[in-house]
Structure 1
Amino acid sequence: MNKLFFKFLVLLMSLSLIGIILVQVYWFNTSFKNNDEQFKYHVTQVIDNVADKLEKQEEYTFYEKINRIKDSTGKIPEKNDLFEILFVQRNTKTNKTIIYKNSISSEKYDFNGSLFNKKNDGFKSFSSKRLTEVYNNNNNVDNSGLNKSVMPDSRDYKDGTLDVLNKVQLQISYKDYASTLSIEERISREKLRELLKKELVDHGVNTKFEFAIFSKGSPTKIKSEGFHFDEDATYSIPILADNEGNERYQLSVAFPNKKKFLLSELVSITILSIVFTLIILVAYSSALNQLIRQRQISEIKTDFINNMTHEFKTPIATINLALDAIKNPKIIEDKEKVFRYLQMIRDENKRMHAQVENVLRISKLEKKELDIEKGSSNVEEVIYDAIEHVNLILQDRQGEINNHFEAARTTVLINEVHFTNVIVNILENAIKYSPEMPKIDIYTENIKDMILIKIKDQGLGMSKTAQKRVFEKFYREHTGDLHNVKGHGLGLAYVKRIVEDHNGQVYVESEKGKGSTFIIKLPLIN
């Protein structure tokens, strides 16, 4: 994959993910604001309804007292005519005349009681008599004479109490009377709480509330104990206006858990949104990690193929040269040279065979096809055996291995062949990555029921990044100017798999330019 295209793809995917998250945040904020507006609308309706019901209940109580007093007086009311309305209308084209008469009278009840003050010392009930007459095609009816001998074509007579005037007078009287009372006499705190609770539940606002009635900006005794004014969570409305429209009192309702309530309405869909966003985020991270890893593996495999090609190219070239030399008539007669060339061919063949075996071992380990039979062994003897395997290479580099065996208990359950290969691989790396004469120290010690094997060299060392990845398959750190270091990054991957199959652990401690220490921890046999 082209590097530029890969970077563009990663950037596009990242921007898309950020866009999804920003859209989710925007949706949440918008939904929260919409819920806040709906909450405000419902609460405003609630306190409007409560204010209206308070007035109606107070008015109804007043009417009930009036009716009880009227019924209990037993007095005959005085009747007075207030005024009479006379209306005449004539259509000159059709000669149709309409005459309307309305006579309004009042009945005054005079009574005293605690309900009224000096300003309101009685009550009037109003009644009316209404007559409508229609004259068709009759010119004898006029506005002045109203000829009584002429019979109307239609006549409509109505008589009864005038409820509108009664109601207006009662409302005026009740408001004048109520304005003389204190707010504590007019409204009960418990009644107000019940009204608010019922209205809030009916409008779906199921959250804690506090209330208070203010008089000209000062709180009255009609308030809940936990009321605290919060501009964002308190809603107010004027109540109990008098006849002149003066609004002396104000009802305020506060919601201390408003934000929590609004969030609770979004919690289910928000959780789903967060879960799906996290799934997308995890999937994206995983996909991106796989892309990067596959790219790295592709590069590592390319290096591996190049290394393997180089590893095979040299032995093959040596074998071909040896065969060509043997074919030479002068050489073929010299048995000593023939044997020497044959030994070269055998050595190079072993070298290629060892490379193939390493690859096959790793492949079998990954497929769990490698047969690892374990037995009780002395781990220090296995280490001695491994040292013998690398002795020739070590002598060629004029190096040395020093043993510091301090473990009192050394019996472990291992496969001797594979564990010997583990130690050999680590020792070969120590020799290979030592630019000067290799100097290697091997330590053993007991920690509880474990044995620790430390293999320390004084070679190139490795970076922190390399320490984290050194046991990965195909991984090889760049060796800078040290071009004679060859390999294919399979040795330490094999080491890790074998040690883990023995229920052990392997890790490395290293510092660039100061060598490395490979530590193997294995369980002892009790």
Structure 2
Amino acid sequence: MSKRIFVLLILLMTLSLVGIIFVQAYYINGSLKTEKARFRFTVIGDVTNVANTLSREEVAKYYNEYQSLDKEKKSDSATVSQLLIYQQNNSTKETLIYKSSILEENYKLTSTLFDIGLDSLDIKNIIGTSSTEIYRNDDLTDKDFKENPIKSIMESGAMPDAQFLLFEKSFKALQKSTPIHKRVSENEIRDLLTKAFQEDSINLDFEFAIYDRDLATKVQSDGFEYDKESNFSAGIFPDEGDKTRYRLLVNFKNDKKFILSSMLRMILLSFLFTIIIMITYGGALYQLIKQRKISEIKTDFINNMTHEFKTPIATINLALDAIRNPKIIEDKEKVVRYLGMIKEENKRMHAQVENVLRISKLEKNELNISKERLNLHDLIEDAITHVELIVEDRKGYIKTFLNAEKTSVLANESHFTNVIVNMLDNAVKYSPEAPEIEVYTENVGTNILLKIKDHGSGMSKAAVKRVFEKFYREHTGNIHNVKGHGLGLAYVKRIVEDHQGHVSVESEKEKGSIFTIKLPLIS
């Protein structure tokens, strides 16, 4: 996959993920707005129904009292008119009603007028100077009574529904002068609101109040707070013209939480699936980048392996060509020398193949590693013999500081020797000048530490983190000044871990490296 296609693929995947998250957020936000509107519509409907119920029940209560009167009292307008006293106030143009010549309260109607349920009488205004005039039954003209709707009801012989409508209109005209706290109680409002909200599954604590043209009345619950934005309201107790000065207001303390909770399951599922998509995307992106790096590493590995095989193959071909030479074939000493070179190069290629196969078997857990009690110092000395000739040839040295007193470990002789050889060989390869290698051992608690220190080229911090990965080599392009294929240290890590040990490295560019193996001791 080319770099341009790879970048384009990542860009499209990222754009798709951002788009999905945006659409999801937009959908949830729209759903929240819809749910909020539905909640508001439901609450306003409930508040309006309660307000209408209170208004209807007030009229019905007095109408039922009127209907309960016997026939003679209903038709006796004199019984009603003798109890009426009119007062005209020029400043307010309100009709004030006295009962037994005693004013109960300005601008209100007594709640049990005349003890016969007829406080709904539509009393006409008498325009004149500010005074109190007393009219008795014998002073009232027929015109006065004809203008009285109740008298009209009594004389009209209308059907009950028509009578109720006339009664309701008269009642509303007079009741608008009655103080609101005399018309309805807090308990009535609370009971009706609670019932209405429960029917719509709104189980929230609420507060309420009745306001008169934005002014608070005595009818309100203790915790009510006026907020024009969050209050739900409806008109209550309309007058004869279906207009009202009063509004029933309701508010909730946790309505936002309630709206959110109604969508909680959908929000959680959306959030969960979004997280899954993001994790999947992250995993896919990680795998793509990892596969791309592995592809690059494998390319380097193939190049290095080709180079590793190219040299011995060329050497073998040259040796074979030399042996074919009639002059050389008769020289036994040269023949033996060339045959030795062929054997060594063959062994070298065989070792490279074995490393690859060994790692493959380790990955599949097919490598059978039997362990026995061994002396770690003996393994170190044996491993050093494999590389000391190379070190001496490059004018270097290997110094040992084997200070550990306890050295018995449970290990596989062949594999653990290969581990130490690989680490020593690594130290030699990454020493541009004469190799200077130091080997240390020491006891730490119930463990033994083996440290191999070199003074070579060292590694970058990025390389230190990945040096034990399979096929990994610090990227140098197609430069093969350091031979290898990124399998030696991966093999070291797997074998050490199979021996219940731990391997680590400390390194700094141009200052060398220290590889440390920690193994458990056995008694």
Same fold (TM over 0.5): yes
Contact in 2 for aligned 1:109/1:124 (Cα 8 Å): no
Contact in 2 for aligned 1:406/1:443 (Cα 8 Å): yes
Letter in 1 for 2:274: T
Aligned partners of 2:255, 2:383: CA distance in 1, in Å? 75
Letter in 2 for 1:294: Q
Letter in 2 for 1:54: L
Aligned partners of 2:356, 2:510: CA distance in 1, in Å? 30
The aligned runs of 1:380-391 (5 Å cut-off) are 380-391=377-388
Give 1:377 shift: 2.2
> SS state of the match for residue 8, structure 2?
helix
Contact in 2 for aligned 1:233/1:258 (Cα 8 Å): no
User: Over residues 266-314 of structure 1, what are the superposed CA-to-partner deviations in whole Å (9 max), with x where a residue is unaligned?
Assistant: 2222222222223222222222222222222222222212211111111
User: Over residues 161-214 of structure 1, what are the superposed CA-to-partner deviations in whole Å (9 max), with x where a residue is unaligned?
Assistant: 454563344324433554444333322222212211221222343333332333
Relative to total residues, which structure has the larger strand share, 1 or 2? 1
**Structure 2: runs of 5+ lacking an equivalent:** 84-98, 100-109, 124-147
User: Over residues 6-30 of structure 1, what are the superposed CA-to-partner deviations in whole Å (9 max), with x where a residue is unaligned?
Assistant: 2222222221121111111111111
Q: 1:254 to 1:318 in 2, by over 3 A?
A: same
Q: 1:437 to 1:219 in 2, by over 3 A?
A: farther
Contact in 2 for aligned 1:78/1:108 (Cα 8 Å): yes
Aligned partners of 1:405, 1:74: CA distance in 2, in Å? 130
Contact in 2 for aligned 1:462/1:510 (Cα 8 Å): yes
> SS state of the match for residue 253, structure 1?
strand
**Which residue does the alignment assign to 1:508?**
505
**Which residue does the alignment assign to 1:175?**
172
Is 1:377 the counterpart of 2:399? The answer is no
Letter in 1 for 2:360: S
> SS state of the match for residue 113, structure 2?
coil
Aligned partners of 2:395, 2:503: CA distance in 1, in Å? 28
Letter in 1 for 2:367: L
**Which residue does the alignment assign to 2:435?**
438
Scaled by the length of structure 1, the TM-score of the pair is: 0.81
Contact in 1 for aligned 2:48/2:233 (Cα 8 Å): no
The aligned runs of 1:62-101 (5 Å cut-off) are 62-67=62-67, 70-71=69-70, 75=73, 77-78=75-76
Is 1:392 the counterpart of 2:419? The answer is no
The aligned runs of 1:63-462 (5 Å cut-off) are 63-67=63-67, 70-71=69-70, 75=73, 77-78=75-76, 115-116=112-113, 124=151, 126-127=153-154, 160-163=157-160, 166-230=163-227, 232-243=229-240, 247-462=244-459
Q: 1:445 to 1:513 in 2, by over 3 A?
A: same
Aligned partners of 1:244, 1:505: CA distance in 2, in Å? 94
Aligned partners of 1:468, 1:488: CA distance in 2, in Å? 17
Letter in 1 for 2:293: Q
Count of residues in correspondence between the two structures: 468
**Structure 1: runs of 5+ lacking an equivalent:** 81-106, 130-159
Letter in 2 for 1:42: T
Give 1:356 shift: 1.0
Q: 1:51 to 1:476 in 2, by over 3 A?
A: same
> SS state of the match for residue 351, structure 2?
helix
The aligned runs of 1:479-518 (5 Å cut-off) are 479=476, 483-518=480-515
Aligned partners of 1:517, 1:76: CA distance in 2, in Å? 116
**Which residue does the alignment assign to 1:92?**
none
Aligned partners of 1:464, 1:185: CA distance in 2, in Å? 86
Contact in 1 for aligned 2:361/2:367 (Cα 8 Å): yes
Give the percent of matched residue pairs that are identical in Structure 1 and Structure 2: 54
Contact in 2 for aligned 1:209/1:254 (Cα 8 Å): yes
> SS state of the match for residue 519, structure 2?
strand
User: Over residues 113-139 of structure 1, what are the superposed CA-to-partner deviations in whole Å (9 max), with x where a residue is unaligned?
Assistant: 86128995996462567xxxxxxxxxx
Q: 1:442 to 1:209 in 2, by over 3 A?
A: farther
**Which residue does the alignment assign to 2:23?**
23
Give 1:491 shift: 0.5
Contact in 2 for aligned 1:238/1:247 (Cα 8 Å): yes
Q: 1:30 to 1:75 in 2, by over 3 A?
A: closer
User: Over residues 323-376 of structure 1, what are the superposed CA-to-partner deviations in whole Å (9 max), with x where a residue is unaligned?
Assistant: 211222222222222222122112111111111110110011111111101122
Contact in 1 for aligned 2:209/2:224 (Cα 8 Å): yes
Give 1:229 shift: 4.2
Q: Which has the higher contact order (CA 8 A, sep 6+)?
A: 2
Aligned partners of 1:31, 1:292: CA distance in 2, in Å? 38
Aligned partners of 1:230, 1:75: CA distance in 2, in Å? 50
Relative to total residues, which structure has the larger helix share, 1 or 2? 2
> SS state of the match for residue 515, structure 2?
strand
Aligned partners of 2:405, 2:190: CA distance in 1, in Å? 83
**Which residue does the alignment assign to 1:139?**
none
Aligned partners of 2:224, 2:74: CA distance in 1, in Å? 53
User: Over residues 427-462 of structure 1, what are the superposed CA-to-partner deviations in whole Å (9 max), with x where a residue is unaligned?
Assistant: 111111111222223333344433333322222222
User: Over residues 26-49 of structure 1, what are the superposed CA-to-partner deviations in whole Å (9 max), with x where a residue is unaligned?
Assistant: 111111111111112111111111
Q: 1:197 to 1:227 in 2, by over 3 A?
A: same
Letter in 1 for 2:153: F
Q: 482-491 or 180-189: which moved more?
A: 180-189
Scaled by the length of structure 2, the TM-score of the pair is: 0.81
Contact in 2 for aligned 1:440/1:458 (Cα 8 Å): yes
**Which residue does the alignment assign to 2:518?**
521
**Which residue does the alignment assign to 1:104?**
none
CA-atom RMSD, angstroms? 2.9
Aligned partners of 2:503, 2:460: CA distance in 1, in Å? 18
**Which residue does the alignment assign to 2:61?**
61
Q: 1:404 to 1:246 in 2, by over 3 A?
A: farther
